[in-house]
Amino acid sequence: MPTYKLIVVSLFFVLLAGCASQDIPDPDPTDASVGSEDGAETDGMDGSGLGEGEEIDYDPSQGELASIIFFDFDSSELRPEDADTVARHAMQLANDTQLSVRLEGHADERGSREYNIGLGERRAQTIRRMLLIQGASAGQISTVSFGEERPAAMGSNEDAWSQNRRVEFKYTN
Amino acid sequence: MLNEVIVRRFVTVICLMSTLLAGVVQAQLVVEITEGIKRRPIAIVPFGWEENSGNVPLDIADVISADLTRSGRFAPIAEDDMLQKPTSGTDVDFDDWSILGVEAVVVGSVTQTGDNAYSVQFQLFDVFGRDQLVGYRMPASRGTMRRVAHRAADMIYEKLTGIKGVFDTKVAYVTADAGPDGQTYSLTVSDQDGENEHKVMESKDPIMSPAWSPDSRRLAYVSFEGNRSSIFIQTLRSGNRIKVSSKPGINGAPAFSPDGRQLVVTLGGVDGNLDIYTLDINTRQSRRVTTHRAIDTEGSWSPDGRHIYFTSDRSGGPQIYRVSASGGTPERVTFEGSYNARPRLSPDGTRLAMVHLDRGNYRIAVMDVERKDLLVLSAGSQDESPSFAPNSDTLIYATRPGRNGVLESVTADGLIRQRLASVQGDVREPVWSPFQRF
């Protein structure tokens, strides 16, 4: 690098350093000459800083209890994400022996009607067995299967079919 | 003289119009033809009417003509094309009919014999052979006239095809109606041509699986009244019914034994293990037939009473099995395809109808019991509930081309398929009556 350029760069950095170390005084808010002379206005910002945070827990028992459980095609197996819902229903029944529930099983429209009654019943029985294991008593639970006779959604497509493969909890006292 | 003729023609036209109008207004099942074979040309000449008092109670030629047309095998020529209109055999001029190319002619007449008493006669002629094939006379009242016309059509049909006619039979079916207050279900019985509809049961809860008794006097069905399933047997004439099964859990899929004394039913119990049982209708005693933990349902009897056929998914998916009616080890009957259900044997025992999954579509298929070959008969994607006519030649079933279910019929060889379009509602689960014995 040529000598004179080095001097310019060095000088630049010296000046920069000088700027950084210089203490720039805050403009006096009562100094009228700063505020009003050129017609610009300032607005002070709220000086409060961030408050203190805290951790929150996820508690599934605090959400609204689902009364319908859905199933995959040709399956009466409970989806893993529904295990909590069933557990909560079981607890509800275990805690109140006056409570009874009718589990209504359904199937989508495909195939033979009476065979679909069987599929709906299989789904209701899956739920029933889990409720019994988890504290409900047999006298509190009844099952009925409507097969494809009471669809929740009309249509001959997977969207409707998936809404119809279900078990509904109907509580009675 | 001329005025008399004009008046008589006018009266006849009004009668015809009223009959047609009545047909359109009353009949929920309106027939449309979707497929066919080459139809045989035939002439049904308007019946003579010996007028004593009033109008002819029924246009019999019209009923016969409609029956033969609906069979898909005949094409009756229009009245306007007829060169002569004889009402008695001796007046038939075979040359006139030869010219028109018809192979057979039916002539007949109705005579009044009393206050509500008539005599109906008809003769069927072979045009080429210039010979009578059948001649018959039957008594009738105003109330039975329509059945008499169907019986005449039966005789004509059988003489010309060798197949027993089923025009004097009934069908029962379930209809679902979405009303302002929610869904209504009804069980309806009508003549096989859609006339004379009678709603025999109505409910806010689903109705399923109607089944005719062998004497055609009763219907068994499943009702979900009270939010549980029960099996009823209802006597059609009186409308009275008895509850024959209401055990805990599922009660379903009733079907009568050939002697009418038992039902085969599906019971699930508290644990929901569906199995086949037989139930004595009088004593209400039930006997268990299957014990597998699979879904065993949709039982039906063979016409000789020796076997019960049913659907079971014990091998993974639904297939059809049969077991001795007195119990034993079931043997599997269907091996083609992944889904075969809802077995129904033809009344002559030669064919097994079922719901069969055909490349993603649920269709009606028949399997020859001896040869075991399968023939797919229908072409929809949601076809179900096949039921044989008592002549084993035609089946009725339900399908869902759009939002509403409709009924179709198809011959057992698959050649003639027709839609019986319903005017309103969502129709399902048709069952064809046995031959009417009374």
User: Which chain B residues are within 8 Å of A142, Cβ to Cβ?
Assistant: 248
User: CB within 8 A of B373, min separation 6: which ones?
Assistant: B367
Same domain, B123 and B195: no
The minimum CA-CA distance between A123 and chain B, rounded to whole Å, is 10
Residue A154 near chain B (CB below 8 Å)? yes
Confidence band for A92, pLDDT divided at 50, 70 and 90: very high
Same domain, B151 and B224: no
Last residue of a domain, one of B161, B195, B222: B161
Residue B295 near chain A (CB below 8 Å)? yes
Give the mean model confidence (pLDDT) for residues A35-42: 61
- By Cβ distance, the residue of B206, B297, B400 closest to A115 is B297
Q: Do B268 and A113 touch (CB under 8 A)?
A: no
- Count of domains for chain B: 2
Same domain, B53 and B199: no
The residue type found at B29 is: L
Last residue of a domain, one of B134, B161, B188: B161
Cβ atoms B399, B408 nearer than 8 A: yes
Q: What confidence tens digit (pLDDT) does each residue in B9-38 have?
A: 444 444 334 333 333 333 334 465 556 688
Q: Report yes or no on B11 lying in a domain.
A: no
- By Cβ distance, the residue of A110, A121, A128 closest to B274 is A121
Q: What is the pLDDT of residue B56?
A: 84
Q: Report yes or no on B355 lying in a domain.
A: yes
Same domain, B178 and B293: yes
Q: What is the pLDDT of residue A1?
A: 52
Tell me the C-alpha distance between B78 and B95, whole Å: 18
pLDDT of A11 strictly over 90: no
Q: What is the pLDDT of residue B25?
A: 32
Residue A127 near chain B (CB below 8 Å)? no
Q: What confidence tens digit (pLDDT) does each residue in B248-301 have?
A: 999 999 999 999 999 999 999 999 999 999 999 999 999 999 999 999 999 999
Q: Report yes or no on B395 lying in a domain.
A: yes
The domains found in chain A, sorted by start residue, are 82-172 (3.30.1330.60)
Could you tell me the CA-to-CA distances from A68 to A110, A118, A124 in Å, in that order? Answer: 21, 19, 11
Same domain, B338 and B190: yes
Q: Do A150 and B311 touch (CB under 8 A)?
A: no
Domain containing B103: what range? 36-161
For chain B, 438 residues long, give each residue's pLDDT as a single digit of tens: 445 444 444 444 443 343 333 333 333 344 655 566 889 999 999 999 976 567 888 999 999 999 999 898 999 999 999 999 999 999 999 999 999 999 999 999 999 999 899 999 999 999 999 999 999 999 999 999 999 999 999 999 999 999 999 999 999 999 999 888 889 999 999 999 888 999 999 999 999 999 999 999 999 999 999 999 999 999 999 999 999 999 999 999 999 999 999 999 999 999 999 999 999 999 999 999 999 999 999 999 999 999 999 999 999 999 999 999 988 999 999 999 999 999 999 999 999 999 999 999 999 999 999 999 999 999 999 999 999 999 999 999 999 988 889 999 999 999 898 888 644 679 999 999 999 876
Last residue of a domain, one of B161, B195, B218: B161
Q: What is the pLDDT of residue A31?
A: 47
Q: Do A114 and B355 touch (CB under 8 A)?
A: no
Residue A162 near chain B (CB below 8 Å)? no
User: Which chain A residues are within 8 Å of B400, Cβ to Cβ?
Assistant: 109, 156
Q: What count of other Cβ atoms lies within 10 Å of the Cβ of residue A11? A: 10
- By Cβ distance, the residue of B272, B339, B362 closest to A125 is B272
Tell me the C-alpha distance between B121 and B124, whole Å: 10
User: Which chain B residues are within 8 Å of A121, Cβ to Cβ?
Assistant: 249-250, 268, 272, 274
pTM: 0.84
Same domain, B199 and B108: no
Write the secondary structure of B303-342 as one string of H (helix), E (strand) and C (coil): CCCCEEEEEECCCCCCEEEEEECCCCCCEECCCCCCCEEE
The minimum CA-CA distance between A57 and chain B, rounded to whole Å, is 39
Q: What is the pLDDT of residue A26?
A: 53
Return the CATH number at B202: 2.120.10.30
Q: Report yes or no on B294 lying in a domain.
A: yes
Q: What is the pLDDT of residue A47?
A: 65
Tell me the three state secondary structure of residue B384: strand
Tell me the C-alpha distance between B368 and A108, whole Å: 30
Confidence band for A2, pLDDT divided at 50, 70 and 90: low
Helices A83-95 and A113-133, packing angle to 10 deg: 60
- By Cβ distance, the residue of B229, B253, B313 closest to A144 is B229
Same domain, B147 and B244: no
